[in-house]
Amino acid sequence: MNLINLTTKMKSLMLLFAFTAIMSCKTGRLNDSSGLETGTIKVAILYPNAENSTFDMDYYKTKHMPMVAGFLGENLKFYEINKGIAGRTPNEKVPFLAVGYFYVSDIAEYNKAIAQNRDAIIGDFKNYTNVRPILLISEIEQVKHNQIRK
């Protein structure tokens, strides 16, 4: 009888442990804001699509963005690269070939790093695009996560 009770208790304990591990992973994902928080500076670099536009996504991902990220140093929280795949409607061409994002803590430090490396950054454009990018620098005002999960 003791052996059966011990086996049952061990199974229950292991089940509880597994459940706790799974829930802690899921809870961590729900609460993880990936560094997005109010006050973070977001730099969006938009590459508009026009006739005869070219864009080498592989170069952008493996060379250009890592180079600029290196210039930003510890001020950089993370960066993101988006590839344009569709327009507003199925027949509309994609309005932007790509959008790069840098998330930084301090706008003054960002401006200083970019100013010090401006020639290298602009000089590298020719290696991946013939498009003049548009920049939007903004401050994150609010971050809300979808609480409805399937």
The CA distances from residue 44 to 17, 38, 101, 109, 139, in Å, are: 43, 16, 5, 16, 11
> Which band of pLDDT confidence, cut at 50, 70 and 90, is reported for residue 37?
confident
Specify the pLDDT at position 83. 98
**For all residues of the chain together, what is the average pLDDT?**
84
The DSSP result for 12-75, as a single string, is HHHHHHHHHHHHHHHHHHHH--TT--TT-EEEEEEEE--TT--B-HHHIIIIIHHHHHHHHGGG
Position 107 scores a pLDDT of: 97
Where are the domains positioned within the chain?
1-32, 41-139
Say if domain 41-139 classifies as CATH 3.30.70.100.
yes
Taking 90 as the threshold, does the pLDDT of residue 6 lie above it?
A: no
- Please report the pLDDT score of residue 148 as a whole number: 85
pLDDT digits (tens, 9 = 90+) for 96-142: 999 999 999 999 999 999 999 999 999 999 999 999 999 999 999 99
pLDDT of 2 reads 61
pLDDT at site 36: 82
Output the pLDDT for position 31.
39
Q: Comparing 32-41, 62-71, 127-136, which segment has the lowest mean pLDDT?
A: 32-41
Task: Among 2-6, 19-23, 132-136, name the most confident range.
Answer: 132-136
Can you give the pLDDT at residue 17? 44
